[in-house]
Structure 1
Amino acid sequence: MRRADETPSTDSVVERITAEVGAWVCSAPLRGLVARFGGTWPDGDLTELLRFLDDFSAAHWDFRGGRERPDAREPDLDPGTVELVHAAATALGLVRPVPPARPAYAHLVVLGGLAHACLRRVAYAAHLLDGGLGVTGEVAVLGSFRPLSDREHRMLAEAGVHGCVTEVDALDAAVRLAFGVSAPAVEDGVDADHPHHSWSSRTYLPAGLPPVRVLAAPSSEPHRRRAHTADTQRFWAGHVRLAPDDAVLLVTAPIYVPFQHCDALRTLAVPYGCGIDTVGVDPGLVDLDRLPEPTLSPGRYLQEIRSAIRSMRALHHELTLG
């Protein structure tokens, strides 16, 4: 499930997206995982199935417990279960990267993450542009004011990057490195004396390339949490004024493609009618060797299968409301 090329307000597109969600959650690999962890596949419609999978994955595959991803515990799984998890993750689209489906897009959006991911994803975006990918609008690099951990600081120092305090600082440093720019042409933002309420925007103008905007969004629930992926996407869409005919390419890591693609369908395609493709960074690229991806464990894959389930449930809810 990768694309939304038609206007999602039409009945046919709602039906297509619903069918794709149903195919993913009813697939044999996911059924096999549920059975492996002691679950009994329920009767009922897609709404009931998504509710069951959300509850089941919360009980069996939520290793974060409200913590950030690096702080999640790793489950003790037997070799047969580990093999099944890897096979299911591959079949469900969390492992292998795929290239962009189009030669050109209106906008290229890079989603933030942990510090090493910020560097890798921005570098991959620059690689795509160097390889001839067309972008008629802007490159948007989206993050938040999440403080970096000690582990992230060490990783950035190993990559020669210093002085970063937050995720958006790491994204900004990644843009300067990957695009060879030193100072933004335009800056804007609001410092609300609290990171959940504040926002910032820096736009760079690299020679011969589209503008590159580094955006930190405020939280839509500032009393509860920091800004998450959906917040950053909505905030950017309001700034760039997406049009129904726009095609948007999102760059993330392969493990996050299913859940972040569904978030983008819900927050961008449904309200704005734009097309969405979502791709993961290709780890085999030679120019990313200096930015190695941490080893992805079975627990990480199960956690992000849960993230995809939750994102699909939210997307299905949005579609049924429409």
Structure 2
Amino acid sequence: MPERPVPPPVAASPPAAGPAGPPPPAGTRDPVPLPCSDPADPAAAITYGISRWVDSPPIRDLVAGFGGRWPTGDLGAVLAALDEFSAAHWDFRAGRERPEAREPDLDANRRTRVRAAADALGLVRPRPPARTRYAHLVVLGGLAHACLRRVAYAAHLLRERVDVTGEVAVLGSFRPLSEAERRTLADADVAGADTEVDVLDAAVRRTFGLREPDASDGVDAGHPHHSWSSRTYQPAGLPPVRVLAAPSSEPQRRRAHTADTQRFWAEHARLSPGEPVLLVTAPIYVPFQHCDALRTLAVPYGCEIDTVGVDPARPDLDHLPEPTLTPGRYLQEIRSAIRSMRTLHAALTEVGQPDDRTG
């Protein structure tokens, strides 16, 4: 595949890091911080965070390791070029679902680079929530095993780590389950699930010891991309738990994705500026899903977003093993983060945030 030139990222303020040397060994440094919102100037803070992440030594080293070059350009051009470069070198899905992605044949040096970069970019090690109190806790759906793990971890956080003053939102879609997911559910003794939201609903009922929802609503439009559903449970001594299945924002093209589910929940919840929202996903998806949440929640509603991954060391998750995380999967999700940041930056630019240039 031909080499793609990649321009260098541009810091909004303060200046971005300089050229990078070899990445540090995995686990020796804190991950590169993700973008975050600042009530005083949310757009500027998020833009600076995007630039800092994109211009970090792990990204520079990874691009160099796959033959990339760094010409100049503004931040929008940088993100576009990184999107193009990652499509050529790190996209193994080709439009398919994640389990159908191929695993690339990488040499030992590249495998080492990828794992070091993934760790330094925050895709490997889970971290605890930054606060002890949140307005809402949002559990993001995924493959069947992930749905079970994330709901169980959210229950642990509610009982031992955080207080939630609003609701717990468990977000999914009517995506049909694969045969591999059905086997996972059979091994976990979960029956009667045909879609992602079915798994989330079963996980909520089993994890919190519930039987029937206290309230339900929805629209069956005759097609899963158009339909939606809402089920609300009230566990004793805990905030209400709402299980939502979102429609797609592009129903003629695809199923509902992560940003659709976040946006759909925001339309149903009463969000206020400055409210802290905690998202639960898997560590490998934290960067891209965090940036999706900034775009769908922080920018339009003024919420503060904290995104954490499930801690695999939890003993209560031993019966729900995580699939092996490979270099190909890490590269794919680094690409997802770049694409999410590009979309986030475009949204900020549309509302008037200037696109700074290098000196």
Secondary structure of 2:138's counterpart equals strand
Match of 1:234 in 2: 263
Mapped pair 1:312 → 2:341? yes
Mapped pair 1:24 → 2:53? yes
Retained in 2: the 8 A contact 1:98–1:279? yes
Structure 1 unaligned regions, length at least 5: none
Offset at residue 43 of structure 1 (A):
1.1
Secondary structure of 1:164's counterpart equals coil
Residue deviations 1:79-102 (CA, integer Å, cap 9, x gap): 111011000000011001010001
Retained in 2: the 8 A contact 1:229–1:260? yes
Retained in 2: the 8 A contact 1:111–1:121? yes
141, 147, 159: which is aligned to 1:112?
141
Residue deviations 1:236-264 (CA, integer Å, cap 9, x gap): 00101211131100000000000000000
Offset at residue 3 of structure 1 (A):
6.5
Retained in 1: the 8 A contact 2:34–2:53? no
Offset at residue 318 of structure 1 (A):
0.8
Match of 1:94 in 2: 123
Mapped pair 1:245 → 2:274? yes
Match of 2:4 in 1: none
Give the whole-Å Cα distance in 2 for the aligned partners of 1:115 and 1:317: 32
Residue deviations 1:53-109 (CA, integer Å, cap 9, x gap): 000001110000000000000000001110110000000110010100010100000
Give the whole-Å Cα distance in 2 for the aligned partners of 1:293 and 1:230: 23
Retained in 1: the 8 A contact 2:193–2:199? yes
Greater relative CO (CA pairs within 8 A, separation 6+): 1
Secondary structure of 1:263's counterpart equals helix
180, 184, 198: which is aligned to 1:155?
184
Give the whole-Å Cα distance in 2 for the aligned partners of 1:286 and 1:317: 41
Aligned length: 319
Offset at residue 130 of structure 1 (A):
1.1
Mapped pair 1:34 → 2:66? no
Give the whole-Å Cα distance in 2 for the aligned partners of 1:130 and 1:248: 17
Match of 1:269 in 2: 298
Give the whole-Å Cα distance in 1 for the aligned partners of 2:73 and 2:161: 47
Residue deviations 1:140-179 (CA, integer Å, cap 9, x gap): 0000000000000000100010110000000001101111
Moved over 6 A (4+): none
Match of 1:6 in 2: 38
The code of the aligned residue for 1:113 comes to G
Larger Rg, first or second structure (1 or 2): 2
Offset at residue 132 of structure 1 (A):
4.1
* CA separation of 1:14 and 1:201: change in aligned 2, threshold 3 A: same
Retained in 2: the 8 A contact 1:6–1:274? no
Alignment map for 1:1-322 (pairs within 5 Å): 1-2=33-34, 4=36, 6-7=38-39, 12-322=41-351
The code of the aligned residue for 1:6 comes to D
* CA separation of 1:288 and 1:37: change in aligned 2, threshold 3 A: same
Offset at residue 20 of structure 1 (A):
1.0
**What RMSD in Å do the two structures reach over aligned CA positions?**
1.0
Give the whole-Å Cα distance in 2 for the aligned partners of 1:174 and 1:141: 10
Give the whole-Å Cα distance in 1 for the aligned partners of 2:71 and 2:340: 20
- Larger relative helix fraction: 1
Retained in 1: the 8 A contact 2:224–2:247? yes
Retained in 2: the 8 A contact 1:94–1:254? yes
Return 207-216 or 240-249, whichever deviates more.
240-249
Match of 2:19 in 1: none
The code of the aligned residue for 2:90 comes to W
Give the whole-Å Cα distance in 1 for the aligned partners of 2:71 and 2:116: 23
Give the TM-score of the pair, scaled to structure 1. 0.97
Offset at residue 2 of structure 1 (A):
4.4
Retained in 2: the 8 A contact 1:34–1:41? no
The code of the aligned residue for 2:250 comes to E
